[in-house]
Chains A and B, each alone.
Chain A
């Protein structure tokens, strides 16, 4: 399949995509490759970025992305629509990343790569995304991103996943509970601890104590 056929716009509005989701899923179940390519195009940005933040490694995230959509393709027949497709895919991403991190931990590799180790491609991406910034602003933003990455990396995997799903992906506590198979109360308490942990990682510990 030519890559040009897959270069679908990912800028489709989320409500429109959600409305068309059942038909898209049905076409994918019938083996429609074009429909599956469209489904991938709709969700690959979310999958890659969530995996990159969970693992702290963009290259690992690209590798995970293929595994995630391969699992989506194989298990789409079992998707019953009790949650949204997006939530279902989140669950697959988190599980794949958890497995990957366990695998790396068994091999004594550092769980996260610091942001200083980003590749030249990532550096160019950062520069392109902030072309209208002054060099000082760009440096400050990069320093802030580095500190946040470092604080995220200090969290446990479960806390990191909950925090990212809530703050970055915008899921509600109920959706996070569905994604991670956790009670809502557990999600809320873990979310609170994860936020506190992030603040501690950012050196805001003194501000928490009046």
Chain B
């Protein structure tokens, strides 16, 4: 057996894992070869020195630490995962993924909630009638709702038939008067009110209007009381020749 083959068997020879015949051959070679014998001693010495490395003395602190961690996990299993001390540089293993999953789910849920389309506004129910008041008020022209549209009523007409009322020429000077005349169902004027303008200037007109008689206005064939609004303006016009 040559030196190279012997030295390749050092590992198995140290473990006494060689067959008896091979082990005897190696032993014989080591007795005969000083260089291989020195290498064999060095080989064993190096491996034996592994056991002489510095030894850590223990003081029973591990059991106390284990019981502390077990106690903490029993009391607060979730918090022990969440609040693992970062300074300990402990590897984050599978249990540490649990809070990460919770955070991920929370973020995704928030994103979905924010991205969801806004709730549609409630549908406004539109009335079929042209006026929304129509559904709220009693029928027009009744006692509960005296208003009615002009298309449904025939206007009152002055019985005198004057094209230009006689009181207008008596109106002195320029000015504007706004008057309301209430024509009762019998055609008489029940009230004349000055809504705008000089009341002194309007007095002749008010007296004249109170004496007027009308063919009453009719709503669906029946006489009704109505108000007539008039705006009188008088101005002087000068024209050159």
Contacts and interface: CB of A to CB of B under 8 A. Distances in A.
B189 to A, nearest CB: 105
Interface in B1-36: 2-4, 7, 10-12, 14-15, 17, 35-36
Contact of B56 (A33, A49, A69, A148): A49
Interface string B54-93: 1111111111111101100000000000000000111111
B49 to A, nearest CB: 6
Interface residues of A, number: 62
B63 A1 contact: yes
B63 A145 contact: no
A33 B67 CA distance: 8
A210 interface: yes
Given A40-B63, A70-B69, A144 B49 contact: yes
A103 interface: yes
A173 interface: yes
Given A167-B47, A210-B4, A7 B60 contact: yes
Interface of A: 1, 3, 6-8, 10, 33, 36-37, 40-41, 44-45, 47-49, 52-53, 58, 61-63, 65-67, 69-70, 73, 99-100, 103, 115, 118, 122, 125-126, 129, 141, 144-145, 148-149, 152, 163-164, 166-168, 173, 188, 191-192, 195-196, 198-199, 202, 204, 207-210
Interface size grouping (class) on chain B: 35 or more
Contact of B50 (A66, A118, A148): A148
Given A6-B64, A66-B62, A163 B17 contact: no
Contacts of A166: 15
Nearest to A210: B3
Given A62-B61, A166-B15, A210-B35, 6 more contacts: A10-B58, A45-B58, A69-B66, A125-B55, A163-B50, A167-B51
A69 B62 contact: yes
B60 A3 contact: yes
A141 B49 CA distance: 9
B9 to A, nearest CB: 9
A208 B39 contact: yes
Contact of A48 (B48, B58, B92): B58
Nearest to A7: B60
Interface in B74-114: 88-93
A118 B88 CA distance: 18
Contacts of A1: 63-64, 67
A70 B67 CA distance: 8
Contacts of B51: 167-168
A63 B85 CA distance: 12
B43 interface: yes
B46 A202 contact: yes
